[in-house]
Amino acid sequence: DIQMTQSPSTLSASVGDRVTITCRASQSVDRWLAWYQQKPGKAPKLLIYQASTLEGGVPSRFSGSGYGTEFTLTISSLQPDDSATYHCQQYNSLWTFGQGTRVEIK
Amino acid sequence: QVQLQESGPGLVKPSQTLSLTCTVSGGSISSNSYFWNWIRQHPGKGLEWIGYIDYTGRTYYNPSLWGRATISEDTSENSFSLKVKSVTAADTAVYFCARARDHGSSGYPSCFDNWGQGTLVTVS
């Protein structure tokens, strides 16, 4: 199985800050990576797929980059509504998720 | 806009079979562009893909479940179901159904673009 590791596990930032979350794969997943946002008690919501393609309706402050084994999700200017847990997911070989990164607003 | 809704018992006894159904509205499970999945999330943990069924009825499962999971479809009800047999406390989780897009020419799912709200199943 391909293991996905996210860092950090938790981060706290202020409104307006630039925030970056990293996702590393145990082996190459090419560009077959997605990012999701999950709020407490809710289902995950697709933000980005194919490493850098923004899903329709997702604010442009979200962006993704990377290839192979290292990927990043960036929020260019953190907003109060962005408080959530973010998950990466690879779909190169089976379908596995990272453990999640909780983003808190200071 | 497609919507998915899970239903089923919230409490299952150890060694018994967990059974859940996902009813889909706003789209057909017979569409050849999508795959219909079950995903679970243990309390306070990450997400674990369980398996999928496609429009031909083909199924594929996470090997980590050791053959305990079965997914089936009911096209007349536009729904699909999950059964997990011989459950233990380790199967306690929130269970989500989700639609996945076709991963191009691979014939497999890619990312999950629509999800049900999730249902907590406790094994006790």
Q: Would you say residue B39 has pLDDT above 80?
A: yes
Pairing, β B18-25 against β B79-84? antiparallel
What was the pLDDT predicted at B69?
98
Q: What are phi and psi of B117, to 5 degrees?
A: -75, -15
Selecting from A46, A49, A94 the residue whose C-beta is nearest the C-beta of B62 gives A94
Share of chain B above pLDDT 70, in %: 99
DSSP at A55: P
CB within 8 Å: B111 and A44: no
User: Is there a contact between A97 and B113 if contact means CB atoms under 8 Å apart?
Assistant: no
Ranges assigned E (strand) in B8-108: 11-12, 18-25, 34-41, 47-54, 59-61, 69-74, 79-84, 93-102
Predicted confidence (pLDDT) at residue B106 exceeds the cutoff of 80: no
Determine the residue type at A67: Y
Q: What is the pLDDT of residue A90?
A: 97
Q: Is A98 on the interface with B (CB under 8 A)?
A: yes
| B110/A94 touch (CB, cutoff 8 Å), yes or no | no
Nearest-CB residue to B47 (from A1, A44, A46): A44
Residues paired with B79 in a beta bridge: B23, B74
Taking residues B41-54, report their average pLDDT: 95
A81: phi then psi, degrees, rounded to nearest 5: -70, -10
The minimal CB distance from A43 to the residues B45, B100, B117 is found for: B117
Kindly state the percentage of chain B with pLDDT values over 90: 85
Residue range B87-115: mean pLDDT, rounded: 92
> Amino acid letter at B6?
E
CB contacts, 8 Å: B45 with chain A: 99
Greater model confidence, B45 or A103: A103
Give the mean model confidence (pLDDT) for residues B71-78.
96
The residue among B47, B49, B99 with the most chain A CBs within 10 A of its CB, best to mutate, is B47
A75-98, pLDDT tens digit by residue? 999 999 999 999 999 999 999 999
pLDDT score of B107? 81
Q: What is the pLDDT of residues B84-99, one digit of tens each?
A: 999 999 999 999 999 9
pLDDT value, residue B32: 82
B51 lies within 8 A of chain A by CB: no
Binned at pLDDT 50, 70 and 90, residue A6 comes out as very high
Which amino acid makes up residue A1? D
Contacts of A49 in chain B (CB under 8 A): 101, 110-111
Q: How confident is the model at residue B44 (pLDDT cuts 50, 70, 90)?
A: confident
Q: Given this model, what pLDDT does residue B104 score?
A: 78
Instruction: Judge: B112–A34 Cβ closer than 8 Å, yes or no.
Output: yes
| DSSP reduced 3-state for B65 | helix
- pLDDT, one tens digit per residue, over A25-62 is 999 999 999 999 999 999 999 999 999 999 999 999 99
